[in-house]
Amino acid sequence: MQTHLAIQDDEMWYVITDIPMKILKANIAVAITEGAPYRMEKPQEEWTNEDKRKANLNNVAKDILYKTLDKVTFSKIKMCRITKEIWEKLIQLCERNEITKENKLPVVVQKFDNIKMKIGESMNEYDRRVINIINELNALGKVYSNKKVALKVVRGLPKE
């Protein structure tokens, strides 16, 4: 049974990274070089259960991908017809997100480094600003120790 699942996984990955499977049959009447049979599309009325399963793999793969996406990402890929298009769009979106993260991190680190309590600002407001910056840093993969954050908060307080 595991061999059958491995074959299905390979077929599924093919559908995601290439094109939907075409169901073909040999046309022995037409021979190509060295007597190899010419392959032509098999009419649907001749499909076996295995042929139907393979032909449906694109729909199964699309369904799996759809169920893993949030509404925002889904809205960006819902017009794609085949799984390969969805996969390529997701790769493009993820790469763009990584580049955005890389570009945004230095800006947020600088915000953290330069944060100071403003004149007339309450301790709660200052604390909220610090927490927002810490959350941004965490989302970008940069984590500071509690000790470093506490020191930053204290150093950002006015002398009076």
Tens-digit pLDDT string for the chain (160 aa): 444 444 566 787 887 888 777 888 877 666 555 566 677 888 889 889 988 888 888 888 889 889 988 898 899 998 988 899 999 888 888 777 777 778 888 999 999 999 999 999 999 999 999 999 999 898 888 999 999 999 999 999 988 7
- The tokens for 147 are 């000790």
- The tokens for 95 are 């790469």
The Cα 115–Cα 135 span in angstroms is: 14
pTM, entire model: 0.49
pLDDT tens-digit map of 38-48: 778 888 898 89
Which residues share a beta bridge with 31? 37
Q: Are the beta carbons of 94 and 77 closer than 8 angstroms? A: no
The Cα 119–Cα 61 span in angstroms is: 57
In 3D space, the residue among 65, 113, 106 whose CA is nearest the CA of residue 85 turns out to be 65
